[in-house]
Amino acid sequence: MLTIGLIKEGKIPADNRVALTPAQCKWIEQHFPNIKIIVQGCNHRCFADKEYERAGIQVQDAVDDCDILLGIKEVPISMLIAGKTYLFFSHTKKLQPHNQQLFRSIIEKKITLIDYECLEHDDGQRIIGFGFFAGIVGAHNGMMAYGRRTGAFKLGRVFECKDYRHLIHTYFGVKLPKIKIAVTGSGRVAHGIVEVMNLMGVTEVEPDEYLERKFSYPVYVALKGSDLYVHKETKTYNREDFHRHPEMYRSRFLPYTRCSDILMNGIYWSENAPRLFDRSDIDDAFTIETIADITDDVNGSVPINVGDQSIEDPVYGIDRSSFKKTDPYLSSSIDVMAVGNLPNELPRDASRYFGEQLIKFILEDLVTGGSAIIDRATIVNKGIITQPYAYMNTYAGL
């Protein structure tokens, strides 16, 4: 019998998402008789303990006897159980300084860490994540911020909606001005952004039209890798080469900063990749007033991202001259929406979507003891850093 535990989220601020919903847990126990699921009691999860109990799933405080532990965000060091196998978003693969001690503790406690972010198909595409709902919420918040800045329209908050279906109904009757919106990325986040654009009645146009024409209605352009980057020497774009050698590419985004009102940023960014623009590009010709940085890397692809806001207060301003943080919606500033846990505004929908991917692509591999996909996502195996992540040895203090 394999026992899977759904752990209580301990990171502050508290995250209320979960890897598997009550209905999904029930389905797993019915279709996999050799699996038992234990839910660690929690009073801030989007699905209440009673909902799991009604589905016939055992709820208890201790999960020490479980074989595999499923979380969402980083597990606080004090909550780590030695020798266990964990799946969660560790946010360590980029050598993030704020999680260095967590990573060292995982090694010290001889834990096996399988990171959701590293679960990929053979072609490198991410298998599971919350990106789609990050895109949904981020796009909504970006539009909300622009509406508040200009007074042209009004949108409420996502977390005030019961669910995604309710959110969609709030778009009925919203009339947008003739604005131009640049959407970057091609993954789940970008798909979520585009979903909101379409629901709000924003028309997609091609890049050349977007740059050259004025429109009497709201439009957006979807910019993928080949639209955003070009090799410094060959003047071409190759996706595989870009991911191997991002430092050899430069950004092609600058012309879009001269005609866009809103930037919805959904690209994956790494330290060596070019930024979409530089601070020095922010001059009188820079027309972007609102940036929804859904990717949310501090000083990353958006160089005026100076850090996270909260769900309750998602927007800040950046002064166009000093680049210092200001209140939002000032004429002298550019508004930035940057929140690290956007899907938490639609936690039940986001959890349901996440669990579906987990069941479809990962569960059977976990049950049978592993696979190439699991191996590639295992950063630490019983306290030892695996070969693909050997570059993390110094980070771990080894």
Mean pLDDT by 10 residues, the chain (398 residues): 96 91 98 96 95 98 96 96 97 93 97 96 87 96 98 96 94 96 95 97 98 97 97 95 95 98 94 95 97 94 95 97 97 96 94 96 89 95 97 92
State the pLDDT at residue 369: 80
Domain boundary at 345, 363, 383, which?
Answer: 345
Residue linked to tokens 């070969």: 387
Beta carbons of 250 and 230 less than 8 angstroms apart: yes
Looking at the domain assignment, is residue 145 inside a domain? Answer: yes
Cβ within 8 Å of residue 364, ≥6 positions away:
none
Looking at the domain assignment, is residue 58 inside a domain? Answer: yes
State the pLDDT at residue 201: 96
Residues 113 and 212 in one domain: no
Residues 21 and 33 in one domain: yes
Is omega for the bond preceding 13 within 30 degrees of 0, making it cis? yes
Looking at the domain assignment, is residue 397 inside a domain? Answer: no
Residues 170 and 318 in one domain: yes
Looking at the domain assignment, is residue 247 inside a domain? Answer: yes
CATH at 81: 3.40.50.720
Instruction: Return phi, psi of residue 115, to 5°.
Output: -95, 125
Residues 137 and 253 in one domain: yes
Which pTM value belongs to this model? 0.89
State the pLDDT at residue 126: 87
Instruction: Return phi, psi of residue 4, to 5°.
Output: -110, 130
Residues 7 and 88 in one domain: yes
Residues 309 and 338 in one domain: yes
Residues 318 and 363 in one domain: no
State the pLDDT at residue 368: 86
Burial of 132 from C-beta contacts in 10 A (0-12 / 13-18 / 19+): buried
Instruction: Return phi, psi of residue 387, to 5°.
Output: -55, -45
State the pLDDT at residue 225: 95
- How many structural domains is the chain composed of? 2
Integer Cα distance of 32 and 143 in angstroms: 44
Instruction: Return phi, psi of residue 58, to 5°.
Output: -75, 130
Residues 74 and 53 in one domain: yes
Strand 290-293 to 203-204 pairing? unpaired
Integer Cα distance of 219 and 177 in angstroms: 10
Alpha helix locations (H) across the chain?
Answer: 22-31, 49-54, 100-108, 131-150, 164-169, 188-199, 207-212, 225-228, 239-244, 347-361, 363-368, 372-377
The per-residue b/e assignment along 286-322, b for 16 or more CB within 10 angstroms, e otherwise, is eebbbbbbbbbbeebbbbbbeeebebeebbbbbebee
Residues 182 and 302 in one domain: yes
Residues 334 and 267 in one domain: yes
Residues 301 and 377 in one domain: no
Residues 154 and 81 in one domain: no
Beta carbons of 142 and 337 less than 8 angstroms apart: yes
The per-residue b/e assignment along 42-69, b for 16 or more CB within 10 angstroms, e otherwise, is beebbbebebbeebebebeeebeebebb
Domain boundary at 345, 364, 380, which?
Answer: 345
Looking at the domain assignment, is residue 398 inside a domain? Answer: no
For residue 9, the enclosing domain spans: 2-128+347-392
